[in-house]
Structure 1
Amino acid sequence: MNKHHRRFSSVLIATVAVAGLALTTACGGDDESTPAPKGETTTAASPEANEPEPQGRSERDDLVRFELEDRSQAGINNIWVVWTIKNNSSEKSTYSWDWEAVDAQGTRVANSSQLETDVQPGQTATGEFPTTLKTTEGIKLNITSFNRTAGF
């Protein structure tokens, strides 16, 4: 196979993978927006949970921290979302979630999707992602969907 065909195949495979993730995220989980956790928090179990979680926990409880972190300096805006996932299930898991940032007037000013893959049972994973936000003042983070799937 020549170099151009391999490159095209790689791009095609990556595109299909991203489209599959987007479709899975769009079709699964809560349709309601929930506030993002600040530190260790728990939320009510979602009715769409496919399997019972240990000790009455829902898969959404595995997202133990999701907040804005302002790293701006010298007049340059640099605001990130940061998170901590703790896999409370008994199997390796992949997490995907959608979020939005809403200002004091209720206008969505940013949104995105996040992915944390192959988190082992009992393991904690942290991550971060840059935003286009100019400030954190008056901004509220909401989780608009959240899914945990068994990793392979």
Structure 2
Amino acid sequence: MAVIVVIVLAVAPGDSDESTTPAPSTSITPKASQEQPQESQGERADLVRFKLDDRSEAGITNIWLVWTIKNGSSEKSDYSWEWEAVDAGGTRLANGSQLETDVQPGQTAQGEYPTTLKGVKGMELNITSFDRTASY
């Protein structure tokens, strides 16, 4: 049995945050949340949690990305973001794009995605772009 997964990413022009935000390897909190009140952060504040979850056991590496989105807008929204994992020397070990769709106003959505990473120690998880668009 073969399983094929296709993800189409459509990003509308408009508000976006193209900055790279480093964080500890086990958790990422958007930098703005530490510096500004949440209402002035915009769409980036909707990414409440983004981290690596090491589920490895019995000598088998099994590391996942996990996230929580809370829609702080007044309309149904789609979210897309790009991320990278880098080692202490700044070498990129993995990168990818994530998508969360049809999140209702005030609703919380959680997701997870497997990685090919071999460990989490000494690693930084960065968000390189983050966008929220209206969902139709």
Same structural fold, with TM-score higher than 0.5 when normalized by the shorter chain: yes
Larger Rg: 1
How many percent identity over aligned positions? 65
For 1:121 and 1:28, the matched residues in 2 are separated by 18
* Conserved 8 A contact 1:77-1:134: yes
Partner of 2:32: 43
Following superposition, the deviation at residue 43 of structure 1 comes to 1.3
Aligned match of 2:56: 72
**2:67 aligned residue (70, 83, 86):** 83
Classify the secondary structure of the residue corresponding to 2:72: coil
Query: Over aligned residue pairs, what C-alpha RMSD do you find?
Result: 2.7
Alpha-carbon contact 1:36-1:67 (below 8 Å) kept = no
Residue 34 (structure 1) shift = 1.1
- The TM-score normalised by the length of structure 2 is 0.81
Structure 1's unaligned 5+ residue stretches are 1-14, 45-53
1:92 and 1:119 in contact (8 A); partners too = yes
Output the CA distance in 2 between the equivalents of 1:72 and 1:80.
Answer: 10
Using a 3 Å threshold, how does the CA distance of structure 1 residues 40 and 104 change in structure 2: closer, same or farther?
A: closer
Residue 3 (structure 2) aligns with: none
* Residue 94 (structure 1) aligns with: 78
Query: TM-score normalised to the size of structure 1?
Result: 0.73
CA 1:99–1:118: 2 relative to 1, 3 Å: same
Partner of 1:4: none
User: Are the aligned partners of 1:93 and 1:151 in contact in 2 as well (CA < 8 Å)?
Assistant: yes
Partner residue of 2:110 out of 126, 140, 143: 126
Moved over 3 A (4+): 36-42
- The CA distance in 2 between the partners of 1:124 and 1:42, in whole Å, is 20
2:18 match: 31
Higher helix proportion: 1
Name the amino acid aligned to 1:43: A
1:98 and 1:111 in contact (8 A); partners too: yes
Give the letter for the 2:93 counterpart: V
